[in-house]
A and B are shown apart, each in its own frame.
Chain A
Amino acid sequence: MRKKIVLGLLIIVTFILQSTVFQALSIASISPNLLLILTVSFGFMGGKKVGLFVGFFSGLMIDLFYGNLFGFNALVYMYVGFLNGFLYKIYYDEDIKVPILLVTVSDFVYGTTIYVLQFMLRGRLNYLGYLKHIIIPEIVYTLVITLVLYRVFFRINQYLFEYEAKGQLSPWLRR
């Protein structure tokens, strides 16, 4: 329960930061995708189910506020979280190299998905232009933020995990 509340708060705080402070800090009108970092991190550290729900609610926040098509972002983020969950327990999550790679791939996939489903279908065929002006700058900026933010998320996850483990061991819960 505590884990759910903490994750919920984390999503809300990340969303608010991304839509206010980080929009003000945007470089050449590109801002980092914090919600994607959150989704990837918790998918990677917590498994498929955690990633799925974190991604789903992150996307839902965007949809509720800015969605052109309700539910679209929720679906995309949900799949990002779910797919990252496949690497849960395959790699050590203390190492920052793996999440860096995951964020790169995920952001690329996310950008391309949005391009294909919402831009290409409207007849905007210049994929390389979008790649150069939107997708790659976003990946680079997001990566820089990941270096800092992943450590924060890692600590939070560790704390949650320890709390859970303690709870299972505590004598009054054994019957």
Chain B
Amino acid sequence: MKKKKKFSVKSKHLIIIMTIIYVGLIALAASSKFSFEPLQRGTGYVISPFQNGINTVGTWLRSQTTGFRNAKKLEQQNTELEEKISALKEENNALLQDQDELDRLRKLYKLDKSFSEYEKVAAQVISKDPGNWYNTFTINRGSNDGIQVDNNVIAPDGLVGIVTEVGSDWATVRSIIDDSSNVSAMAATTSDTCIVTGNLLLMDQGKLNFIQMTDQEDKVQAGERIVTSMISDKFLKGILIGYVSEIEDDTNKLTKTGTLIPAVDFAHLHEVLVIKELKQKGSD
């Protein structure tokens, strides 16, 4: 038997080498001198069709688990909803009347178009961040449908997040409840600005933090609508984020912090809309 000479590296040496290479790469990525985007796009191109397919299994499983909810609860919900519908119908009638007036006034004031008039693309959520620490997800539309990085993502109820990466037919979205997300926002009635930050610990209670609210006249109260602000450089103006649930003074007595309840139900998010318009910036 011929003895084969084989080149082999000891595992302890291997881990040292790999560590050095990888710490170097992390440093490169962090300093953003080197982009891994082509690599990310490549794998996304291969993997996302699988995720798209398997996700139908996931949706089926989800519908099965929700089917276990007892019928009593559903019945109760049904009566509640019917009551709600009649109330809403009434409200709708009143709103329709107001709408005519609003249209007229808008024309008069030549108001900027509201976000409902922007061109949008509907997309489905196909997979979520595998860990429990972040709240990012992938959708099944990409640059082929005109989606770009920093596009705003909304659901019919309100703001969902922002596009962080784009492939040809997939895109990654960071939601506003993600711990690293910061959105410049304002109170809808008083236009007092604040910053809405995600918080992993508040997420269980379905809440978001807001900080640095400049409300010197104490007008902002629980129930106030919080929308994206006009000074945000990435989010279009006036998209609903949520409603204030608690508010209190900071120790410096100048600003306020508190929590708000997001308008979107992030736990059951299947379809989202991507606004294909980027926020206009001043010349660089």
Contact = CB atoms under 8 A, between A and B. Distances in A.
A70 to B, nearest CB: 4
Interface in A6-39: 12, 15-21, 23-25, 28-31, 33-35
A31 B14 contact: no
Task: Report the contact-size class of chain B (Cβ under 8 Å from the partner).
Answer: 35 or more
Interface string A109-144: 000001000110010101001100110011000000
A35 B1 contact: no
A52 B61 contact: no
A114 B130 CA distance: 14
Given A65-B138, A66-B172, A30 B22 contact: no
Contacts of B134: 66, 68
A19 B52 CA distance: 11
Interface in B157-207: 172, 179-180, 200-201, 203-204
B26 A175 contact: no
Given A24-B61, A126-B201, A65 B11 contact: no
B130 A19 contact: yes
B136 A66 contact: yes
B133 A114 contact: yes
B201 A130 contact: yes
B127 A49 contact: no
A52 B14 contact: yes
A66 B174 CA distance: 9
A1 B131 CA distance: 30
Nearest to A141: B132
B26 A64 contact: no
B93 interface: no
Nearest to A50: B11
B94 interface: no
B131 A23 contact: no
A150 B269 CA distance: 32
Given A19-B127, A138-B132, A24 B62 contact: yes
A69 interface: yes
Interface residues of A, number: 53
A16 B23 CA distance: 26
A42 interface: no
B175 to A, nearest CB: 12
Contact of B126 (A20, A31, A71): A20
A34 B131 CA distance: 10
B133 A118 contact: yes
A124 B200 CA distance: 10
B131 A62 contact: yes
Given A49-B14, A65-B47, A75 B179 contact: no
Contacts of B254: none
A20 B179 contact: no
Contact of A62 (B15, B61, B130): B130
A134 B22 contact: no
Interface in A43-65: 47-49, 52, 56, 61-62, 64-65
Given A52-B15, A82-B11, A133-B204, A21 B130 contact: no
A75 B16 CA distance: 11
A69 B58 contact: no
B25 A70 contact: yes
A40 interface: no
B44, B65, B172, B201 interface centre (most CB from chain A within 10 Å): B201
B15 to A, nearest CB: 5
9 contacts: A16-B127, A19-B127, A20-B51, A24-B58, A33-B131, A33-B132, A52-B11, A119-B200, A134-B200
Instruction: List the 10 shortest-distance A-B pairs measured between CB atoms, nearest first.
Output: A24-B58, A70-B29, A48-B11, A19-B127, A23-B128, A18-B130, A71-B26, A24-B62, A66-B129, A21-B58
Given A29-B267, A72-B26, 9 more contacts: A17-B54, A18-B130, A19-B130, A20-B51, A20-B127, A24-B59, A48-B15, A65-B44, A66-B136
Interface of A: 12, 15-21, 23-25, 28-31, 33-35, 47-49, 52, 56, 61-62, 64-66, 68-72, 74-75, 78-79, 82, 85, 114, 118-119, 122, 124, 126, 129-130, 133-134, 137-138, 174-175
